[in-house]
Amino acid sequence: MLGARRARLLADLAGQVLDGGAGTGANLPYLHSASGVVAAEPDPAMRRQIAANLAGAPVPAEITGDVAEALHQPDASFGAVVLTQVLCTVGDPDRALAEARRVLRPGGRLIVLEHVRGSGSLARCQDRLTPLWSRLIPGCHLDRDTAAAVEGAGFTIHRAELFDPFPRGVPARPMLQAIAVPAT
């Protein structure tokens, strides 16, 4: 469902790329312009799935068990940090974004593809559902204002789009697609 968006967001990322909260490795096929990828994924089952996909990766890739809030990577070591469908589940999104900023090189880009808090009655529904939802879908929060968190972490959003790929009854919407850079 998000393949075309991933392709547009990730296809031209060059240099070293950090995929934070890489999950099963869904971003790997789209990172063909990168010189290398570090896929940070703390969940052992997900890391096994990524490992199975590494042979088909278009560029050299390595897997780490790092959590997004504590990356074991040097400062200013990546041209891009990709966070797709991870900021809703991390325990501390502000810390995860601070780590993304820390490991980005000057002029680097943060790529975000995430479901976010809606508005109006949807937002009120998300507020009520989040405690139950985050137990059913471990750690997932429906009510996070990710754009505000990105800006609060010292990034400037250059391009952003809210879109709604799901039916009205799905509470994990809308989604945010954004490209941000560290504010100067």
pLDDT in tens, 56-66: 889 999 999 99
Residue 91 has a pLDDT of: 93
Residue 166 has a pLDDT of: 86
The torsion angle over the Cα atoms of residues 44, 138, 2 and 109, rounded to 10 degrees, is -70
Residue type for position 66: D
The torsion angle over the Cα atoms of residues 93, 25, 2 and 67, rounded to 10 degrees, is 0
Residue 36 has a pLDDT of: 97
Taking the CB of residue 74, how many other CB atoms lie within 10 A of it? 9
Helix residue spans in 23-66 (DSSP H): 44-53
CB 142 within 8 A of CB 130: yes
CA dist 176 and 163 (Å) reads 7
Tokens 């820390």 belong to 102
The torsion angle over the Cα atoms of residues 89, 152, 155 and 100, rounded to 10 degrees, is -40
In the chain, the domains with their CATH numbers are 3-182 (3.40.50.150)
Beta strands in 47-141 (DSSP E): 61-64, 78-84, 104-115
Tokens 């995430």 belong to 114
Determine which helix (DSSP H) or strand (DSSP E) holds 157, and give its type and residue range: strand 155-163
Residue 131 has a pLDDT of: 96
CA angle in degrees (0–180, nearest 5) for 144-43-71: 70
Looking at the predicted structure, is the pLDDT value of residue 1 above 90?
A: no
Residue 63 has a pLDDT of: 96
Beta strands in 73-154 (DSSP E): 78-84, 104-115
Read off the pLDDT of residues 63-95 as tens digits, 9 standing for 90 and up: 999 999 999 999 999 999 999 999 999 999 999
Residue 104 has a pLDDT of: 97
